[in-house]
Amino acid sequence: MQSNTQKSIKTTAEASASSVSGKIYLVGFGPGSREHMTQRALDVINKADVVIGYSTYIRLVKDLLDDKQVIRKGMTEEIDRCIEAYDQAKQGKVVALVSSGDIGIYGMAGPTYEVLLQSGWTPDSSIQVEVVPGTTALSACAALVGAPLTHDFCSISLSDLLTPWPVIARRIESAAKGDFVIALYNPKSGRRTGQIVEAQKILLRYRSAQTPVAIVKSAYRHKQNIQYTTLDKMSECDIGMLSTVLIGNSSTFMQEQLMITPRGYANKYKDLTGEIHEGEKAGRSLNMGLASWYNCVIEYARQHPEHSFAEIADYFNTTEASVFSAWQQESGPVNGMAVRQLTDITEFEHILNNIEENQPFILKISYRGVELKARLNKSSCVITPDVIALNVNNLDVEIERNRVEHVWEMVSDSKTQWVFSDFEGNRLMSIEVHRQ
Ligand code: SAH
| In-domain check, residue 46 | yes
Whether residues 224 and 112 share a domain: the answer is no
Task: State the closest ligand 1 atom to the C-alpha of 184, by its place in the atom list counted from 1.
Answer: 15
Give me ligand 1 centre to Cα 123, in Å: 29
Q: What distance in Å separates the CA atoms of residue 259 and residue 314, rounded to the nearest whole number?
A: 34
Both 428 and 312 in one domain: the answer is: yes
Question: Which one of 93, 119, 135 terminates a domain?
Answer: 135
> Does a structural domain hold residue 283?
no
Nearest Cα residue to atom 3 of ligand 1:
106
Q: Is 221 in the pocket of ligand 1 (CB under 6 A)?
A: yes
Pair 40, 126 in one domain: yes
Taking CA atoms only, the protein residue closest to ligand 1 atom 18 is 137
Judgement on whether residues 329 and 353 belong to the same structural domain of the protein? yes
Q: 182 and 312, same structural domain?
A: no
In a domain, 216, yes or no: yes
Q: Is the CB of 106 under 6 A from ligand 1?
A: yes
Query: Is 76 part of any domain?
Result: yes
Q: Kindly state if the Cβ of 185 falls inside 6 Å of ligand 1.
A: yes
Segments forming the whole domain that contains residue 102: 21-135
68-98 burial: b if 16+ Cβ within 10 Å, else e:
bbebebeeeebeebbbbbbbbbbbbbbbbbb
For ligand 1, whether the C-beta of 133 sits within 6 Å is: no
Say yes or no: 80 and 155 in one domain: no
Last residue of a domain, one of 135, 167, 191: 135
Would you say the CB of residue 195 lies under 6 angstroms from ligand 1?
no
Is 333 a member of any domain?
yes
Residue nearest to atom 17 of ligand 1 (CA): 137
What is the full per-residue pLDDT of the chain (436 aa) written as tens digits?
A: 344 444 333 334 344 444 568 999 999 999 999 999 999 999 999 999 999 998 888 888 888 888 899 998 877 778 888 999 999 999 999 999 999 999 999 999 999 999 999 999 999 999 999 999 999 999 999 999 999 999 999 999 999 988 999 999 999 999 999 999 999 999 999 999 999 999 999 999 999 999 999 999 999 999 999 999 999 999 999 999 999 999 999 999 999 999 999 987 767 677 666 777 777 777 777 777 788 889 889 999 999 999 999 999 988 888 999 999 999 999 899 999 999 999 999 999 999 888 888 788 888 887 777 888 888 888 888 999 999 998 888 888 899 999 999 999 999 999 999 999 999 888 999 999 887 6
Nearest CA to ligand 1 atom 15: 185
Ligand 1 neighbour 53 (Cβ under 6 A): no
Of all protein residues, whose CA lies closest to atom 13 belonging to ligand 1?
Answer: 186
Query: Domain for residue 266, yes or no?
Result: no
The domain total for the chain is 3
Q: Which of 115, 135, 155 is at the close of a domain?
A: 135
**Which residue among 106, 135, 225, 238 is best mutated to probe the pocket of ligand 1, counting the most ligand atoms within 8 A of its Cβ?**
106
CATH number of the domain within which 199 lies: 3.30.950.10
Report the b/e string of 184-222 with b at 16+ CB within 10 A. bbbbbeeeeeebbebbbebbeeebeeebbbbbbbbbbee
Cβ burial of 24 (10 Å; 0-12, 13-18, 19+) is buried
Verify that 59 and 77 share a domain, yes or no.
yes
Classify residue 335: in a domain, yes or no.
yes
Whether 143 is covered by a domain: the verdict is yes
Verify that 332 and 430 share a domain, yes or no.
Answer: yes
Query: Same domain for 229 and 363?
Result: no
Which CATH number goes with the domain that contains 77? 3.40.1010.10
